[in-house]
Amino acid sequence: MKIRSLITLAIFMLCIIIFLGSATATSQTLSPSDDWIQEEFLKKHQILRAFWKNRIIKYNKQSIDHFTSMLINNRFPKDSTWELRMNQLFQNAVSQKINFYLFFYALKDEPLVLFNEMNHIEKLIPEEKYHDIEPHVTPADLIAIQEYIKKKNLSVSVTLGSAKSELITPNYPENQYQYPFAIHSIGKVFTGVLVFMMIEQGVLTEEDLQRPVQLDKTVLQKLPSSVKIQLKKVTLYQLMIHQSGLGDYLPRYFQAIQSGHPPVIRHAEDFLPFIEDEVYPVGVSRYSNAGLLLVGLAIKHAYEKKYKHPINYDVLLNNMLIHFIGMTSFSILKPENAKYNLQDPIAPFIAGSPAGGYWVTSNDLAKFGQWLYQKMTNDPTFNYLIKKYGQEFYYAEEDTIAHGGGIPSSSAFFSVSLKTGAVLVVESSQPPGFGDDLKTMIQHHINGVIDTPDARATSSKLI
Per DSSP, the residues of 235-279 read BHHHHHTT-S----SHHHHHHHHHTT-PPP--SGGGGGGG--S--
Sign of CA pseudo-dihedral 434, 435, 436, 442: positive
Domain assignment present for residue 218? The answer is no
Amino acid making up residue 338: A
40 within 8 A of 441, measured Cβ to Cβ:
yes
Domain assignment present for residue 273? The answer is no
Q: pLDDT for 71-83, tens place per residue?
A: 999 899 999 999 9
- Whether residues 183 and 322 share a domain: the answer is yes
118 within 8 A of 411, measured Cβ to Cβ:
no
Query: What confidence tier does 158 reach under pLDDT thresholds 50, 70, 90?
Result: very high
Average pLDDT, the chain: 89
Q: pLDDT for 35-80, tens place per residue?
A: 888 889 999 999 999 999 999 999 999 999 999 999 999 899 999 9
Give the per-residue pLDDT at 332. 97
- Whether residues 410 and 306 share a domain: the answer is yes
Domain assignment present for residue 277? The answer is no
Q: Assign residue 372 the CATH number of its domain.
A: 3.40.710.10
Query: What confidence tier does 330 reach under pLDDT thresholds 50, 70, 90?
Result: very high
Range of the domain at 79: 2-122
- Whether residues 314 and 381 share a domain: the answer is yes
pTM, rounded to two decimals: 0.89
CA 36 to chain centre: 21
- Whether residues 305 and 446 share a domain: the answer is yes
- Whether residues 400 and 365 share a domain: the answer is yes
Count of structural domains within the chain: 2
Query: What confidence tier does 450 reach under pLDDT thresholds 50, 70, 90?
Result: very low
Q: How far apart (Å, rounded) are the C-alpha atoms in residues 304 and 291?
A: 20
**Whether pLDDT at 454 is above 50:** no
- Whether residues 54 and 199 share a domain: the answer is no
- Whether residues 99 and 27 share a domain: the answer is yes
Please enumerate in sequence order all residues whose Cβ is within 8 A of that of 85, keeping only pairs 6 or more positions apart, or say none: none
**H or E stretch including 156?**
strand 156-162
- Whether residues 307 and 426 share a domain: the answer is yes
The residue out of 75, 97, 122 marking a domain boundary is: 122
CA distances from 406 to 76, 137, 146, 326, 431 (A): 12, 27, 23, 25, 8
- Whether residues 311 and 429 share a domain: the answer is yes
Nearest of 119, 111, 110 to residue 89 by alpha carbon: 110
